[in-house]
Structure 1
Amino acid sequence: MARQTSVLTMMGLIFKESRLEKNITQSSIAKHIGMTSAGWGKLENGKASLSVENMMLVCSFLEIPPTQLFSSIEILTKDLENEGWDVHINRIDNDGLLIGKELGALSEVATSSVTVAGSTIITGGAALAAGSLSGAAASAAGLTVAGSTLSGAAASSASLAALGGGSLAAGGGSIGMLVRKIASAYVWGEKLLSK
């Protein structure tokens, strides 16, 4: 797994984070800028880009000053590069943040244990110490792991951040926390799959 992402993905995740914080639906923001909800979804997932005009409309709608957006992207880029990530300008295949987003979704499941091969190895959202990964997370990573399952919450958000290590989990202000969390999830997946 290569640690790589794009500026488009970071921008989409920043917009998503702000939209969710303000309880704005994808359809309402898409309508505001003249897009479909599906088109907006592609943008949030780093699979589409915005014209400068539409980017300014989104910034205005979400009350994000454009200078703050670009400053946040610059800070996140430096943070990621310091953690060994390659950050590209254009959309890329095998985007680590998009893979990390799928892995991070596992941490959001509202259960309290992880079961591997029929045995509960984690309770109360503790950090995953060992085991194999299959299902959605393996698919997101492009891997097939036979014989083991991962069910329930893999880790709480705090545990996931601890597993990810480095400064990504703890750094920065409110904008970009989703990017940091997803990057930590990707690193968590790397560590898990390397065992």
Structure 2
Amino acid sequence: MRGLIDLQAEIKLRRQAIEDIKQKLEQGDPIYDSPQRYKSCTEQALSEYRQRTSRTKYAQNPAYMQFREQIWEVSQTGAMPPITDLVPAEPGDEADSDEDLVVGGVMQDYKCPLSARILEDPLSSTVCKHSYSRREVMEYLAGNGGTARCPATGCDKVITRQNLKENRELRKRVAAYERREEEREIKRRGTQLTQVID
């Protein structure tokens, strides 16, 4: 799975290099050696990507999180720990608190972009794959005549009632996430109580 994510990242970086060259040409900027420029741009971008830690490459990737959750469900019992517990920290990760990574990775994936709260009865767009709490997105569309721009940051797709579908798999993942968070909170309170008693 990590190899696939790396390949997707490489394809994206190579496309971006081509797009940058194309834009410069369209703006009339002279580029005398496009192949060499493409090569140097992609080599630099790939080098920077490869220097990133495993947590920054994978722990915040929704596809990787879903993959690890599915593996956990068929091979383990109980709630899966936070994804950062499954991806060891490396030099360079020290500045990232565990809470920030959980929020940036798992938590963000399960939040409605309209309410900023955990998804409830999620609906997913078939045009951009973003998900929303049913009540919030229906109110959002009703207030915009039934058609509106996706409220997720950086998305410019248009959503309608017709391209929103019930997402049962996501609902299960949200429920599992909430159970994990409850277990973490219970464990945290138990640790605090033990420290007070000691």
Could you state the TM-score of these two structures normalised by the residue count of structure 1?
0.28
Could you state the TM-score of these two structures normalised by the residue count of structure 2?
0.27
- Whose helix proportion is higher, 1 or 2? 2
